[in-house]
Amino acid sequence: MKKLENKCMLITYADSMGENLKDLAFVMDKYFKDAVGGIHILPFFPSSGDRGFAPMDYHVVDKTFGDWDDIEKLSEQYYLMADYMINHISAQSEYYKDFLEKKDDSKYRDLFIRYKDFWKNGEPTQEEVDVIYKRKPRAPYVDAMFADGSTEKVWCTFDEQQIDINCKSDTAKEFIRDNLVNLCEHGLSIIRLDAFAYATKKAGSSCFFIEPEVWELMDGCQKIVGPYGVTLLPEIHEHYTMQQKIESHDYYVYDFALPMLLINALYYGQSTYLKNWLKICPRKQFTTLDTHDGIGVVDVKDLLPDEEIERTKEDIFKYGANVKKIYNTAAYNNLDIYQVNCSYYSALGDDDDAYLLARAVQFFAPGIPQIYYVGLLAGKNDLKLLEETKVGRNINRHYYKLDEIEKEVARPVVKDLLELMKFRNEHPAFDGEFILEDCSDEELVILRKKGDDFARLKANLKTKKFTIEHS
């Protein structure tokens, strides 16, 4: 297994660049081995929904993608990250099915959050429902239908295929340990804790990022993976101060604020808000512009004034290519009003200069850059997949065939991006200081420096042109 390195990380599904993990390995070796140092392979376990995020069993690789040998071979060349959905498990998993079959006689009866045990009177009051940080306009539950004909409410934050785990129970603690150890033993160097902030719940609270329980959960996971040299990355979309809190506990975080801040800077030729964030953002972080989800809006609350957030969000529908408001509504099964469904390249109007400048800023920003596979190929919005599936996020989840990848890597914008990534991976200055230099509001000048080695980005946000000077 390769350890975590300060090199560009690709984010991809197992079947998005070719049809399976063997195709992915072939594509990486042929086109991207110098540009990419690590790979986040999105959920590759058997799953009953949400493109892999309703996992049924962490001990096996979905056979349509390959097997553990394919994962371990990739881990010899790239540092790998995999998802652990700490908040939930599939409704089709053997664990939940055993619970439905045997109810109180099931060894998994304490693995799930049963309303009758969680709430004082078996049901939340309206006041308690109102304060929950939730994804549905009602209390978060599904009705468990038991084999004996009885029913009972169990906690369900997301889709009905994703049943929440009672992380405080001894059963869940053993369940988490077993799954994390299994992942560590198959060559993973980073484990991403998906939906992490939802995993701590307390009656009468928001049931989201509850302290000190959140630190007990995080530290408990760290004790499990630490002996294997594995890094944890909690995934949270919320106010930037939560990321700062996590960094203060010496864990890696995501920079989910950068995407909207950069769009704002490039749309309006202004750098004030972007510069402020670059000064205060966590240093122990992974940067993103695009992921398998939409472009985050909630993440820039108080980093952009409310009117700037609204202006930027609205103008994505004006300046972006082939993106409409309806793609972000219930008509396209959209859950997240705080995200805009659009590829990053299309959010910037399919403009090569603006896109390459955005990537250059990302690569010079503090942290390790992650590049989503659609972004790696400067991909446009996939309206065909969107309309076929009526799933908003699928606008940015194109399936690339091998011959299509061969054509895409020949585009000048992709060639230039791969050169930028190779430079970011190889230049020693990126292991050193981050210095924001004085410049006008329409400019951005960043110096990266280590000893005598340096790299300086000079960017003009109005003209979308930039230069890089380096030792």
**Catalytically active residues, by annotation:** 194, 235
Going by their DSSP bridges, the two strands 285-287 and 253-255 should be labelled as parallel
Biggest CA pair distance of the chain: 73
CA–centroid distance for 331 within its chain: 24
**190 token code pair:** 């980073």
Q: What angle do CA 300, 301, 303 make, to 5 degrees?
A: 60
Question: H/E/C letters for each residue in the chain?
Answer: CCCCCCCCEEEECCCCECCCHHHHHHHHHHHHCCCCCEEEECCCCCECCHHHCCECCCCCCCCCCCCHHHHHHHHHHCEEEEEECCCEEECCCHHHHHHHHHHHHCCCCCCECEHHHHCCCCCCCHHHHHHCCCCCCCCCEEEEECCCCCEEEEECCCCCCEEEECCCCHHHHHHHHHHHHHHHCCCCCEEEECCHHHHCCCCCCCCCCCCCHHHHHHHHHHHHHHHHCCEEEECCCCCHHHHHHHHHCCCCEEECCHHHHHHHHHHHCCCHHHHHHHHHCCCCEEECCCCCCCEECHHHECCECHHHHHHHHHHHHHHCCCCCHHHHCHHHCCCCCCEECCCHHHHCCCCHHHHHHHHHHHHHCCCEEEEEHHHHCCCCCCHHHHHHHCCHHHHHCCCECHHHHHHHCCCHHHHHHHHHHHHHHHCHHHHCEEEEECCCCCEEEEEEEECCEEEEEEEECCCCEEEEEEC
- Of the candidates 232, 226, 230, the one whose C-alpha atom is nearest the C-alpha of residue 194 is 232
